[in-house]
Amino acid sequence: MDARSVDVVVVGAGQAGLSAGYHLRRAGVTPGTGFVILDADDGPGGAWRHRWPTLTVDRVHGFHDLPAMPFPAAAPDRPAAEVVSDYFAAYEREFGLAVERPVRVEAVRSLPDGRLDVRTDRGRWTARALINATGTWSRPFWPHYPGRSSFRGRQLHTADYRGPDEFAGRRVVVVGAGTSAVQLLGEISPVAADTTWVSRRPPDFREIEFTPEHGRAAVALVEARVRAGRPPASVVGVTGLPVTPEVRRLREQGVLERLPMFDRITPDGVAWADGRFVAVDTILWCTGFRAALDHLAPLKLRGPGGGIVMDGTRVVADERIHLIGYGPSASTVGANRAGRAAVREIRALLTRAAVLD
């Protein structure tokens, strides 16, 4: 199959990718011929379509509207995965974004004429610029600990979690100090035989109201990291954990009595160097995600420290590549702003290219 040619390829149709599509259309770039959005999933919703069914609308913190279409009112007990997927589907229809799916991007390379060669499992595209909006959900992080392969019980990641019922009567250790660990402990503890919470660092609970000023300060810290070429920290990791009524309830019940990270895993549990041992049936790794950027590896964007030096959304080493939903834009409000910023710079790039042609 011959390569299809567009000016811009957008990879990913979550919040960041749809925002980019909206701003491309607003800038006069035509869907299908001027730009294409490629998405690996078989339906709308981005990472949200994979969230566990017990994550309901009333437990979602700070979902921000997509550009020019308010997030709809929804019953608080509806699964967020359903509500957000329906919202994204309506958005794609409203703005004629014509997302192509399921299409998995396998590799992006430079061509001799300066264009990008985007290879997928459904053919090839060539483009002058690429907006990467693949997020992190497809790259769950599993840390290595001695003895992990010897464990006879079940191990799963947050990405595999489908609800508390499968933990009924089980002895569970939950690993991680983030929001997901706290939420899932709250769901699992009433049905499990026992839960143990461990983390490498103490959880950073904060008795403060999360204001827009706190959000901007957190984004600025993450942006400083990526400008320096360091791997981005999560925005949530910078803001800390808000002390909500649910957190207070779990504290009162003794669910949030956290232990330091174990030193090794045995066939029947987890052990510490000081002799402590906890027998468990299940290890739930709430250990976060990493940016899904393997398809960009042929472009050699990473620096010696493993990070990618960024100027806003633009990769400093290659002005054709913009990363949104990455680093400081890895939030729903950040993704919207990043989509607008990326399109502004890409319009300038395309104008310069047209002058040279």
pLDDT in tens, 92-128: 999 999 899 999 999 999 999 999 999 999 999 999 9
Q: Beta 241-242 vs 205-206: how paired, if at all?
A: parallel
- As a whole number of angstroms, the distance between CA 16 and CA 10 comes to 10
Paired tokens of 269 = 């549990």
8-state DSSP, 44:
S
How high is the mean pLDDT of the chain? 90
Handedness of CA 223, 225, 231, 236 (dihedral sign): negative
DSSP-assigned states of every residue in 284-323: EE---B----GGGGGG----TTS---EETTEETTEEEEEE
Q: 200: which residues sit within 8 A by CB, 6+ positions away?
A: 177, 260, 261
Long-range contacts made by residues 198-201, C-beta under 8 angstroms, separation at least 24? 198/173, 198/174, 198/258, 198/259, 198/260, 198/261, 198/262, 198/270, 199/175, 199/258, 199/260, 199/261, 200/260, 200/261, 201/177
pTM: 0.89
User: Mind listing the pLDDT tens digit for each residue in 22-79?
Assistant: 999 999 999 999 999 999 999 999 999 999 999 998 888 667 889 999 998 888 899 9
pLDDT at position 211: 57
Phi, psi of 132 (to 5 degrees): -95, 120
Alpha helices in the chain (DSSP H): 15-26, 80-94, 179-188, 212-227, 235-239, 245-252, 332-356
Distance CA 176, CA 253 (A): 19
Rounded CA-CA distance 193/106 in Å is 43
Give the pLDDT confidence of 243-291 residue by residue, as tens digits: 888 899 999 999 999 999 999 999 999 999 999 999 999 999 999 999 9
How many other C-beta atoms are found inside a 10 Å radius of the C-beta of residue 100?
Answer: 17
The whole-angstrom separation of Cα 337 and Cα 249 is: 36
SS3 163: coil
CA–CA dist 334, 328 (Å, integer): 7
pLDDT for 242 equals 81
CB contact at 8 A, 316 and 5: no
Q: Is the peptide bond before 79 cis (omega within 30 degrees of 0)?
A: no
Looking at residue 235, its pLDDT comes to 57
- Give pLDDT tens digits for 218-231: 666 666 666 666 66
Q: Which two tokens stand for residue 253?
A: 């019940």
269, containing H or E segment: strand 269-271
